[in-house]
Every structure is written in structure tokens, then in C-alpha cells.
Chains A and B, each alone.
Chain A
């Protein structure tokens, strides 16, 4: 059996779609090099997992913000649980069966759909069964609580990595000790040894990635802004799935190069840039194409997504890889803006971004299952209002397309653009 022939396998479906996009992009005269590299990376990512499964090699599933750079350094193929659910929604549009299976297990509809869907997918057997589940409490209760049920469904062991809430030296050392325990767990279960040189090299590459992310963010300040909404999802997926990986650096360098050329040529992401937008939280994955079209139609460009793209000024030290990985977990933009603690600094990040990127308005995608993020809707609306930046809140679900319709979303966005026009 080849990896393409696994019946009903959602990951195989994502891989097929990614490969198709590579071919289409290559065939297209105006196809971006970065897009080709991105979809190739995704296809390779899926293939690596599927092949490991096929060959009976150890592979692990891990939750969002789990430091999967450690898995790369140990040569353990890994699958990102939430991104797999999101990519399934994006590439296949087939999430209803997964969500229904999650409900059948007894998971309440208030639980984040990415977790319900993923658990349902495992219960249905439409994802390759991992040999270990790895999860942490970053970034919410859903991630903290998802692991044990996944272990039970997959009949496999697991490791819960506890990441302390606040950022003090004691808490960093706690996390470092947790990372060491986790490496010990993986060495025992997988038979793979940690390659410390490779881990240091990976951390060095993560530092390079951070620099490129910061450069890309800087380039997006240009008027007109050169990047498209789909690109944001690609950047996000890249740091979720490929921390410190050479192919990710190649992709990010291509993006940086393309944006630099566009800025130099005065070419924006849309032909006639009218509205510069701040995107808060993640737009619905399954509507990326729709949002892209809307962006073109209204000349509305997402120029900054501070919850995800504001990497601050911290640096990583490859000579101290575990401590760097621990510190990195406090640099992750989501960890600051979404998880907390909510400080004056996190609010300032939003208002400073609005000013720096010359934003006309902000759109907050309020994901039904993301309680702690939505709790900041009013805080950020109030902060933006003080600097005269209106904010629209769009209720949605990041995976479940039945939550609201395209028409409803279009109407809301259109009204918001009209409001911005009047200003």
C-alpha cells in the first residue's frame, strides 16, 4: 500500500491537495516561488508521517505550541494535532464526520472544534495512529486537557509538558526540567537518542527564522502593503510545523524576497489598496479563498496580525538549547496576547501595531471555542477605540463551517468597509 492509497485518511487528503497546489503553482506563469515551496513543505510533512506509519517507525502527535523542534532533533516524525484539524478543514472541507464523532464520544459542543474534530478523527480511524501523544497547557485549557482522551483512543502512552503561566527565572527552570523529562520519555519510548548538536543547530535556525519573520513584518508596513491574507496562514503554519527547519528558512527567505521586490515596485497585495486592516485571532480556515476574493474586491488588506506575528525582541542562544526553547515559549506572540497574563504591554502591542502599520480598522475573528481569546474582545476594542481605530467582531468557528454562512460574513465585512469609507 502506498501512502496515497490509505482509504479515508484525512492526512493523505491534505497531502494530495498540497501536491496538486504545487503542480498548479508551478504551471501558473505568475505563480509565486514561495507558494510552491510552502505547499511542497506541507506535502512532505504529511508524507513523512504517513511513511513512518507505513514502515512501522515511531511517530508522535503533539498539540499546538508543543516544542516540536525537539522531535526534529530526535528524528521523530511528528503530527501537529490542531493544525491537522485546521488543514483538514482548509484542504478537504470535510469536518462534519469528525465533529460528529467527537460529540459521540461525549465531548461537549463548547470544546474547541479543533480538539473535538481531531479526537473524533482518531475515533473514526481516519488519521494515522501515533505511538505517543505529547501535549502541553500552552495555550489553553483545551490543549491542557486534550491529551488523556487521545491516549486512551489511540492506546498509546503520552507526556504532558507543563509550561508555567508566568515568565520568571524559576518558571523557566521548571520548564527546562520538564523538557528534560520529556526527552527522557521520548528516548525510552522511541529508542531514538537526542542529538544535542542537531538541537543546537535547530535552535540557531529558529533564531534565523525569527529574524526573517521580523523582516517580513517590517516589509508589510509599506503602503501599499504587499502581502495577502492567505499568506498569514502560511506564515503561521510554518512556525507551527517547521521550527528551525532548513526548508522553512528557504520558504521564508523567498517570501521576504518577494515582498521586498513588491515594496520596491510599489506593488500591493490588491490592485487598489483602500483599507489597511489588523486581523485579530485567526480567520476561518475554510473561508480563506473567500476572504482573499473579498480582499481583492474591496481593496482591504490585512497588514498585521499582532496576536501571531509580533515576535518582539527576544533572542535564542544555540549554546543553551533547552533554556532557549523554554524562553521561546514565552516569546510566542500568542502566548503573550492570547494566553496572558494580560498586561499593559500586551495591550500596547496592539495599539502600537495599529499605529505602526497605519491601520484603518481591525477585525476580531471571535472563535466560538476559544474562550480566553474572546475574553479580550472588549479590552482590545476599547484600546483601539482610544486611538480611533474601529474594530469589527465576527463570530465564527475556526473549523466548523456551519457556525455562520459566507453571506452573513460578507454582509458584516461589507458594512464594516462602508463604515471605514465614511470615515
Chain B
């Protein structure tokens, strides 16, 4: 399987720009060049923040993530305390140590306890010229949409005041098109994963997604178009012991998925805020519609995070995804202290059981590469899935 993985990577020449960005993040050449041109960079946290608004202002939206590997988090522990999730601790430590010292602002939502407190401590100790936190409703009702519309509108107005100019509707419409194009391309990438023998590994897809948060959108779209073109002609086809889906907490380290794939799992689908939940739904904008309204609708109705109510919305979409990608087993990875997902787990496991889809539940730390005990458990899970098939 390792040989196969290496062969696949070697053959995908168009993959390199993504890898380059991820290897050098947060200080990528493109971000630094952007700053050198005197253009602003704004960090955003969580998929409920409409990055189109940042893009429409001519600024570079960069998603706040932590270290790509599991790290000692001395500063993160000292500032956020040990019982906050390692994602927020990792992000904060990276911020405290100057990783994001180019940021002109930080935008977050009241999405979960970890995100709220990361925002609070970032503002207190890392400090940025502009900061804003939006109330993000947990419901998806009309009333909640109205509230979220006003939240986004308020954010836009504060942002404009900070920047000293107004973001025109035309600019916002253009940005919606650009980001929708990213979503469309990512959807095409995922279509390849539905094949019996996909030409791209799950770990590679996560690398592409990571790059999508860290590159100028136009450049990302160009690079992904090239990759899709290459995939259509590449003769690489991957096989695996079982078709798997990864669900759960935020994940950026593709090595975790690679470790599963090296054992023979074929990761064909994922339900993470760094994967399907990031790109799955486009912004649908009518000709005369207020673009902020369209953004509010899309961001609140998007494939829901475990924070949203009712949870069935998330579970139904996970099950639809599993059917669509012909998933045989689900691996749930939950970062310790990531409470929304931990609360959902018993209910989700029960729903998947009704669909006869077995679940492997893994408690992990953010950035884990999936070695050691995790490997042993994945191995046993794959054996169980094979036995079930027989």
C-alpha cells in the first residue's frame, strides 16, 4: 500500500503547489508576498464565517489552524488551560509564538466553547488591529436566519469602518462566484472518490483542502483545475480493503488519514469542517437578492457542525454521504474536550447502526498522525469489516 501511495504522489505533478503551501504554512511565500504588496490578511475561525466578505474587501482570508503535527503545547496549556481542546490550544500557541504575526484581524463566531475562548485569549494576548465575534445561531429556523443576517451585516459594517471603505455589492457578488467556483471544483474532486478505485487518496484530498484555506482563492482554483485535469488522464487507481468515511472534530494533519490508508483502508468520504462541511453547499444568489442575505442562508444551512440543533440534520447528511460514497465503515475521530462531537457520538453511532454501518470511535489529540494504538484499532476495525463482508 505504501508503494501504491508513493506511486500515486509521484505521478500527480499538479499536486506540488498544495504541498508547498502546507509545508510552509503559516508563513507561505504567497501570504508573505501578499503582505509585501501592502494588502491585508485576515484570519477566520470556523466554517460559519463568510470568507467572501474578507475576499470582497480585497483582503486575503486565511483560516486559523494549529500546528500540522501533534505538538507539546506548553503555551497553549498555560494560556487556555489543559481542559480546552488541543485544536484551540494549538492555534493559540502558534499565534502566541508569532506564527500569525502578519494578521490584520481575527474573525470568529460563537460556535463552540473552544472557539469562543480562543477568540477571547487571542484578543487579550496575541492582539490584532481588528477583531470581531459573531453570534452564530444553533438553529436553522427563519428567525435564526434573520438573526444571522443581521450579525453578518453588522460584521461587514464594522469591517468596512476598519478598512475605511465600503464593500460594494458587485465586489461581494464576484467573491461569491470565486468561492463558489472553489466549491464546485472540490465537488468534482470528490466525484473521483466515488469510483471503485479512486485516483486520489483521502490523505491527498485533505492536503488539497488545507491549501484551500491558505491560498488566494483564484490561485487555488487554478491549481485545483490543473489537478482535476491531471486526474482525468492519470492511470493511477487505488484499491483498499474497505471504503471508509472519517467523521468528527476538526482535522488538518493528513498523516492521520495516510496512516489509515497505509493499513489498507480506502478513505473515500469525510465529514469534517476541514473537508466536506467546508465546501459542500454553494451560495445561491438571486439576481436582485441582497448578497449578505444569500451568505447568511448558505452559512447557516450548510452541512451542520455538531453544535447545531437538531442533530438529526447532521446525522441525515452523514448517512446520505455514506450511501453516496458506498461507505462500509465510519471512523469517528473526536479531539479530547471537543464536547459537541462527544455528545453526538452515542446518538450518531446508534443511527449508523440502524444503517448497518459499523463505527470505530477514536479519542485523539489535534494534529495526531494516527500512530501507535490508533493503528492497532484501525487494523482490528478493517478486519472486522472484512469479516462482515464475508
Smallest CB gap from A341: residue in B: B133
Task: Decide yes or no whether A20 CB sits under 8 A from chain B.
Answer: no
Q: Are A141 and B307 in contact (CB under 8 A)?
A: yes
Task: Decide yes or no whether B116 CB sits under 8 A from chain A.
Answer: yes
Q: Interface on A for B, CB 8 Å cutoff?
A: 105-108, 110-112, 137, 140-142, 144-146, 148-149, 152, 160, 162, 164-166, 170-171, 174, 177-178, 340-342, 366, 368-372, 374-379
Q: Among the listed A162, A341, A374, which residue makes an inter-chain contact with B139, where contact means beta carbons less than 8 Å apart?
A: A162
Q: Are A371 and B361 in contact (CB under 8 A)?
A: no
Q: Among the listed B81, B116, B338, which residue makes an inter-chain contact with A378, where contact means beta carbons less than 8 Å apart?
A: B81
Q: Are A107 and B342 in contact (CB under 8 A)?
A: yes
Q: Among the listed A142, A144, A146, A378, which residue makes an inter-chain contact with B138, where contact means beta carbons less than 8 Å apart?
A: A144
Give A171 to B123 CA distance when docked, in angstroms.
23
Q: Are B81 and A377 in contact (CB under 8 A)?
A: yes
Smallest distance from the beta carbon of A19 to chain B beta carbons, Å?
A: 35
Give A228 to B346 CA distance when docked, in angstroms.
42
Smallest distance from the beta carbon of B133 to chain A beta carbons, Å?
A: 6
Q: Are B117 and A107 in contact (CB under 8 A)?
A: no
Q: Among the listed A108, A141, A142, A340, which residue makes an inter-chain contact with B334, where contact means beta carbons less than 8 Å apart?
A: A108
Smallest CB gap from A144: residue in B: B138
Q: Which of B112, B116, B343 has the most CB of A within 10 A?
A: B343
In the assembled complex, 19 residue pairs joining A and B whose CB atoms fall closer than 8 Å, in A order, are: A106-B346, A107-B345, A108-B363, A111-B339, A142-B339, A144-B309, A145-B339, A145-B343, A164-B135, A164-B137, A165-B110, A165-B135, A166-B110, A174-B137, A341-B120, A371-B85, A372-B113, A375-B117, A379-B124
- Taking CB atoms, residues of chain B closer than 8 Å to A108 are 334, 336, 342, 345, 363
- Taking CB atoms, residues of chain B closer than 8 Å to A379 are 120-121, 124
Given A108-B345, A148-B310, A162-B138, A375 contacting B80 (CB threshold 8 A): yes
Given A170-B147, A368-B83, A370-B83, A162 contacting B339 (CB threshold 8 A): no
Q: Among the listed A140, A148, A377, A378, which residue makes an inter-chain contact with B113, where contact means beta carbons less than 8 Å apart?
A: A140
Give A146 to B136 CA distance when docked, in angstroms.
19
0/1 interface trace, chain B 85-97, chain A, CB 8 Å (1 if under): 1000000000000
- Taking CB atoms, residues of chain B closer than 8 Å to A142 are 339, 343
Q: Are B81 and A374 in contact (CB under 8 A)?
A: yes
Smallest CB gap from B154: residue in A: A168
Smallest CB gap from B349: residue in A: A106
Q: Which of A111, A146, A342 has the most CB of B within 10 A?
A: A342
Q: Are A340 and B120 in contact (CB under 8 A)?
A: yes
Task: Decide yes or no whether B161 CB sits under 8 A from chain A.
Answer: no
Smallest distance from the beta carbon of A417 to chain B beta carbons, Å?
A: 24
- Taking CB atoms, residues of chain B closer than 8 Å to A162 are 137-139, 144, 309
Smallest CB gap from A369: residue in B: B83
Smallest CB gap from B308: residue in A: A144
Smallest CB gap from B120: residue in A: A342
- Taking CB atoms, residues of chain B closer than 8 Å to A375 are 80-81, 84, 113, 117, 120-121
Docked complex: B307-366 residues within 8 A CB-CB of A: 307, 309-311, 334, 336-340, 342-347, 349, 361, 363
Task: Decide yes or no whether B388 CB sits under 8 A from chain A.
Answer: no
- Taking CB atoms, residues of chain B closer than 8 Å to A165 are 110, 116, 133, 135-136
Task: Decide yes or no whether B130 CB sits under 8 A from chain A.
Answer: no
Task: Decide yes or no whether B78 CB sits under 8 A from chain A.
Answer: yes
Q: Are A160 and B139 in contact (CB under 8 A)?
A: yes
> What number of A-B contacts does a CB cutoff of 8 Å give?
136
Q: Which of A107, A144, A149, A370 has the most CB of B within 10 A?
A: A144
Given A148-B311, A379-B124, A171 contacting B135 (CB threshold 8 A): yes
Smallest distance from the beta carbon of A346 to chain B beta carbons, Å?
A: 9
Q: Are A149 and B342 in contact (CB under 8 A)?
A: no
Smallest CB gap from B345: residue in A: A106
Given A107-B342, A165-B110, A145 contacting B306 (CB threshold 8 A): yes
Q: Among the listed A107, A145, A174, A374, which residue makes an inter-chain contact with B84, where contact means beta carbons less than 8 Å apart?
A: A374
Q: Are B143 and A174 in contact (CB under 8 A)?
A: yes
Q: Known pairs A107-B346, A145-B343, A148-B310. 13 more at Cβ < 8 A?
A: A110-B83, A144-B340, A162-B137, A162-B138, A164-B137, A165-B110, A174-B143, A178-B143, A371-B84, A372-B84, A378-B80, A379-B120, A379-B124
Q: Are A372 and B79 in contact (CB under 8 A)?
A: no
Smallest distance from the beta carbon of B96 to chain A beta carbons, Å?
A: 11
Given A105-B346, A371-B83, A371-B84, A145 contacting B124 (CB threshold 8 A): no
Task: Decide yes or no whether B150 CB sits under 8 A from chain A.
Answer: yes
Q: Are B309 and A378 in contact (CB under 8 A)?
A: no
Task: Decide yes or no whether B114 CB sits under 8 A from chain A.
Answer: yes
Give A347 to B83 CA distance when docked, in angstroms.
21
- Taking CB atoms, residues of chain A closer than 8 Å to B79 are 378
Q: Are B116 and A372 in contact (CB under 8 A)?
A: yes
Given A142-B343, A164-B147, A378 contacting B78 (CB threshold 8 A): yes
- Taking CB atoms, residues of chain B closer than 8 Å to A341 are 116, 120, 133
Q: Are B340 and A145 in contact (CB under 8 A)?
A: yes
Docked complex: B287-315 residues within 8 A CB-CB of A: 306-307, 309-311
Give A378 to B75 CA distance when docked, in angstroms.
11
Q: Are B342 and A110 in contact (CB under 8 A)?
A: yes
Give A395 to B114 CA distance when docked, in angstroms.
19
Q: Are B121 and A166 in contact (CB under 8 A)?
A: no
Give A374 to B80 CA distance when docked, in angstroms.
7
Smallest distance from the beta carbon of A185 to chain B beta carbons, Å?
A: 14
Smallest distance from the beta carbon of A46 to chain B beta carbons, Å?
A: 27
Smallest distance from the beta carbon of A302 to chain B beta carbons, Å?
A: 22
Smallest distance from the beta carbon of A36 to chain B beta carbons, Å?
A: 38
- Taking CB atoms, residues of chain B closer than 8 Å to A106 are 345-346, 349, 361
Smallest distance from the beta carbon of A112 to chain B beta carbons, Å?
A: 8
Give A375 to B117 CA distance when docked, in angstroms.
6
Smallest CB gap from A344: residue in B: B124
- Taking CB atoms, residues of chain B closer than 8 Å to A377 are 81
- Taking CB atoms, residues of chain A closer than 8 Å to B361 are 106
- Taking CB atoms, residues of chain B closer than 8 Å to A370 are 83
- Taking CB atoms, residues of chain B closer than 8 Å to A146 are 343
Give A158 to B108 CA distance when docked, in angstroms.
30
Give A106 to B348 CA distance when docked, in angstroms.
11
Smallest distance from the beta carbon of A100 to chain B beta carbons, Å?
A: 15
Smallest distance from the beta carbon of A136 to chain B beta carbons, Å?
A: 10
Q: Are B110 and A371 in contact (CB under 8 A)?
A: no
Q: Are A141 and B339 in contact (CB under 8 A)?
A: yes
Docked complex: B91-145 residues within 8 A CB-CB of A: 110, 112-114, 116-117, 120-121, 123-124, 133, 135-139, 143-144
- Taking CB atoms, residues of chain A closer than 8 Å to B310 are 148, 160
- Taking CB atoms, residues of chain A closer than 8 Å to B81 are 366, 371, 374-375, 377-378
Smallest CB gap from B123: residue in A: A342
- Taking CB atoms, residues of chain B closer than 8 Å to A342 are 117, 120, 123-124
